[in-house]
Amino acid sequence: MGSAADFPKIDFTSNFQNIINNALSSTPETRQAVDPSTEELLYHVPLSKQADVDKAVSVAKAAFPAWKALSYDERAGYLGRYADAIEANVSGLQELLMKEAGKPVSNAAGELQFAIAHVRETAKLRIEDDLIEDTEERRATVRYLPMGVGVGIIPWNYPVLLGLGKLGPAVLAGNTFIWKPSPFSPYTALKLGEIAAQIFPPGVVQVLSGDESLGPLFTAHPDVAKISFTGSSATGKKVMQACASTLKRLTLELGGNDASIIYDDVDVAQVVQKIGPMAFMHSGQICMDIKRLYVHEKIYDEFLAAFVQVVKSFKVGGGGDPEAFLGPVQNRMQFEKVKDLYSEIGKQKWQVATGGEPVAYDGKKGFFLPPTIIDNPPDDSRIVVEEPFGPIMPVLKWSDEDEVVRRANNTNMGLGASVWSNDIEKAERLARRLEAGSTWVNSHFELSPYVPFGGHKWSGVGMDWGIVGLKGWCNTQASWVRKKF
């Protein structure tokens, strides 16, 4: 592991440019994102066009043969050094992340810590050939070969972790990688690209910033082998359609409407302390946050009262607030969507257990909304059917196992789900009936670089992370060797 002195320091307050062929690259036009805590404009960033995409893809394609020829250990060495360089610049990255994403100190620090660990642990993964048959006459082997130029289209909610979580497996598998950050949060990505330019050979890792028109330029490009996209289900469908014209490989990690089912045998005081952060972390702007909470009717009133007290204890504050747990909604577009859902409270006469319509925030700067719990709304309510992606959620009653499984599965989404009980066997039995890419017993939103995550149904195609995710960056090849003619 290198020391901080081994790596040049990056300026995190100016000179935000694309990284193409390990060089800073400007564009004639620029744009600015907004600090969601203050609504103030942030730094100018490039507005990439077709020529920038063509250049980056051409460079990545040219770098691919030499990069894939390296061994896994050699490529892992680059990733380890990259993790060290990121860690050497972590304070500047954290300040930038708090500005662009509106993250309080604990959330920003946690994202960076996990992201650095993710790069280091990903570097330890290896894909071995699968020996299927080996007889005197013949040998059959399955191999996993890198694809070529990969593009990661990254969302605004976890811009560092989700970006590095695609970069690491892509380059470890032998691909070259282009990072396209969200227009709402381009800053950390550009600086992580600047750091990468100090570590990787030219063309292996590049970063291009732009507006909503940039993604389609990559999905249409004939020399891009794979798109890995994280974002909404609606946009994911458009990405899938766009990739069809060139039959690109793709991974889609899309929205979720995660259900959490609470049995009546739990320790209520203990469980609410765990569930509160898992439901409201990053103000509900995580695909794997708990979005629907089903509580057994025998403990419903006790649970709801205790859960409300936990949520009331969460301080709301701006990016960089050391005491805040909840920050703002990250951008105005999402803010208006979530506000529209809050407006249903009065119209539909939902029972509010805490929070409510954001009257107290009117006229104040920043995209802040009060953490809100809706008490047992009808199953066909928007708050139950839709993914809010904001700090508002329903708590619902249940009494029958078959009924609650049906209700939990009654959605187009299938990202994650959890079951909470002191009877582990019973909880696991119910969890196996839930239609989701990840299930948990007595936890939620638990992740590891070694374990894949992704969704069923409209929550995605394929999976990221772990050996499964690493193979997703490879073409499968069947190899036959005839030993005797």
Cβ count within 10 A of residue 223: 14
DSSP-based three-state secondary structure for 229: strand
Q: Give the tens place of pLDDT for each residue, 365-421.
A: 999 999 999 999 999 999 999 999 999 999 999 999 999 999 999 999 999 999 999
CA-closest candidate to residue 282, choices 109, 411, 142: 109
Residue 2 binned pLDDT confidence (cut-offs 50, 70, 90): low
Residue 211 binned pLDDT confidence (cut-offs 50, 70, 90): very high
What is d(CA 81, CA 123) in angstroms, rounded to the nearest whole number? 10
Q: Cα torsion at 161, 291, 462, 19 (round to 10°)?
A: -30
Q: Which residue has the tokens 């070529």?
A: 148
Q: Give the tens place of pLDDT for each residue, 286-311.
A: 999 999 999 999 999 999 999 999 99
Residue 59 clears pLDDT 90, i.e. is over it: yes
**pLDDT (0 to 100) of residue 276:** 97
Contacts 24+ apart (CB under 8 A), 231-237: 231/153, 231/155, 233/412, 233/413, 233/458, 233/459, 236/460, 236/461
CA-closest candidate to residue 388, choices 330, 433, 337: 337
In the chain the first and final C-alpha atoms are separated, in Å, by: 52
* Cα dihedral across residues 54, 59, 62, 65: positive or negative: negative
The percentage of residues in the chain with a pLDDT greater than 90, rounded to a whole number, is: 95
Element (H, E) at 297: none
Give the predicted TM-score (pTM) of the model: 0.96
CB 277 within 8 A of CB 260: no
**pLDDT (0 to 100) of residue 364:** 78
Residue 184 clears pLDDT 60, i.e. is over it: yes
Per the DSSP assignment, residues forming a β-bridge with 229 are 153, 252
What is d(CA 105, CA 97) in angstroms, rounded to the nearest whole number? 10
**pLDDT (0 to 100) of residue 90:** 97
More confident: 355 or 4:
355
Taking CA atoms, 430 is separated from 47, 288, 427, in Å, by 49, 19, 5
**pLDDT (0 to 100) of residue 376:** 98
The token pair that represents 128 in the structure block: 């071995």
**pLDDT (0 to 100) of residue 4:** 54
DSSP-based three-state secondary structure for 340: helix
Active site (annotated) includes residue 212: no
Element (H, E) at 320: none
Pairing mode, if any, of strands 392-398 and 290-296? parallel
What is d(CA 225, CA 218) in angstroms, rounded to the nearest whole number? 10
Give the mean pLDDT of 118-130.
98
Residue 265 clears pLDDT 80, i.e. is over it: yes
Give the mean pLDDT of 266-272.
98
Cβ count within 10 A of residue 195: 20
Residue 8 binned pLDDT confidence (cut-offs 50, 70, 90): confident
Core vs surface per residue 51-85: b (16+ CB within 10 A) or e: ebbebbbbbbbebbeebbebebeebbebbbbbbbb
The token pair that represents 122 in the structure block: 């990903």
Q: Give the tens place of pLDDT for each residue, 221-250.
A: 999 999 999 999 999 999 999 999 999 999
Residue 363 binned pLDDT confidence (cut-offs 50, 70, 90): low
Residue 130 clears pLDDT 70, i.e. is over it: yes
What is d(CA 379, CA 359) in angstroms, rounded to the nearest whole number? 26
Radius of gyration (C-alpha) of the chain in whole angstroms: 23
Q: Give the tens place of pLDDT for each residue, 92-119.
A: 999 999 999 999 999 999 999 999 999 9
DSSP secondary structure string for all residues of 235-293: HHHHHHHHHHTTT-EEEEE----EEEEE-TTS-HHHHHHHHHHHHHGGGG-STTSEEEE
Residue 7 binned pLDDT confidence (cut-offs 50, 70, 90): confident
Residue type, 381: S
* Count of helices and strands (H, E) across the chain: 16, 22
DSSP-based three-state secondary structure for 37: coil
CA-closest candidate to residue 108, choices 92, 124, 119, 122: 92
**pLDDT (0 to 100) of residue 362:** 63
Question: What is the 3-class SS of 116-147, one letter each residue?
Answer: HHHHHHHCCCCCCCEEEEECCCEEEEEEEEEC
Q: Which residue has the tokens 């407006």?
A: 343
DSSP-based three-state secondary structure for 418: strand
**pLDDT (0 to 100) of residue 3:** 56
Cβ count within 10 A of residue 32: 13
Residue-averaged pLDDT of the chain: 96
The active-site residue, picked from 87, 100, 194, 253, is: 253
